[in-house]
Amino acid sequence: MPTINTNECAISIQNLDHYFGNGQLRKQVLFNINLEINAGEIVIMTGPSGSGKTTLLTLVGGLRSAQSGSLRILGNELCGASSKQLTQARRNHGYIFQAHNLHGSLTALQNVRMALELQPGISIPEMLTRSKEILEEVGLGHRLNYYPDNLSGGQKQRVAIARALVSQPKIVLADEPTAALDKQSGRDVVELMQKLAKEQGCTILLVTHDNRILDIADRIVYMEDGHLVKDTVSAVSH
Ligand SMILES: Nc1ncnc2c1ncn2[C@@H]1O[C@H](COP(=O)(O)OP(=O)(O)OP(=O)(O)O)[C@@H](O)[C@H]1O
């Protein structure tokens, strides 16, 4: 993995276009996106359904390959990157999705520990210690050996946050993390993400339709029909 240049933005997107499909079915879904996100910033991306938010998030996360323009993540260009380079890039990120994606056959502790198994050079006892510590931090120290089926929606999402953050990633990407939660659980979950991210100095890019959580952002960007139409410093944060 190339050395990370700390002077660069965590995420730097220039003139990014994206298309789905081929031939007559080819459809442009992102148009000339320009966005710079500094290390440690919390940015919320919002906008109507179908405006391209998830597509942009998956490109930033290296979950699909960028076709045109420039997409630099932690100093690495992902546009035109090989699948091996994308796999490497994905190791630097934590992901939190609406449907938490926990493994039903693994306990909370095992789900979190699994995220450390991809990291080189961590012993099994250290994996266990770090996984327990972060589960305690998210208020689940008493649920370490519970299976997802026996946890509430908010608790499952907190396990997902612990799993995303246990490896101390530089970037966390979240897609509708509060969509399946009631108002209070949703609020608790994003405040927890904000607290842990600030402690670890990590950058968060979060897609949401949930207006109730906009105030946790340092900056809000607004997508419409594949265009980034507004980029505002959050008036209400901090
Ligand atoms: N795999 C795909 N193949 C073809 N078209 C796609 C694919 N994924 C998304 N699209 C299209 O790209 C456009 C942007 O979709 P995207 O999911 O990025 O929007 P979104 O803003 O995240 O929407 P939502 O808020 O509903 O999740 C939509 O027109 C969608 O139909």
CB atoms within 10 A of CB 229: 12
Question: Tens digit of pLDDT for each residue in 170-194?
Answer: 899 999 888 877 888 788 888 888 8
What the chain holds in terms of domains, given with CATH numbers, is 9-91+172-178+203-238 (3.40.50.300), 93-168 (no CATH)
What local confidence, expressed as pLDDT, does residue 139 receive? Answer: 87
pLDDT tens by residue, 92-125: 888 887 766 899 999 999 999 998 987 888 999 9
CB 11 within 8 A of CB 205: yes
Q: 153-165 and 183-200 helices cross at what angle (nearest 10)? A: 10
CA 70, CA 5: separation in Å to the nearest integer? 17
**Cα 53 to averaged position of ligand 1 atoms, centre (Å):** 8
Residue 21 CA to ligand 1 centre (angstroms): 12
Q: Measured from the CB, is residue 93 less than 6 Å from ligand 1?
A: no
Amino acid letter, residue 25: L
127-176 pLDDT, tens digit per residue, is: 999 999 989 988 899 999 999 999 988 888 889 988 988 988 889 999 98
Best residue among 55, 207, 208 to mutate for probing ligand 1, ranked by most atoms within 8 Å of CB: 55
Q: How far is the CA of 30 from the centre of ligand 1 (A)?
A: 10
Q: How confident is the model at residue 235 (pLDDT cuts 50, 70, 90)?
A: low
Q: Is the CB of 3 under 6 A from ligand 1?
A: no
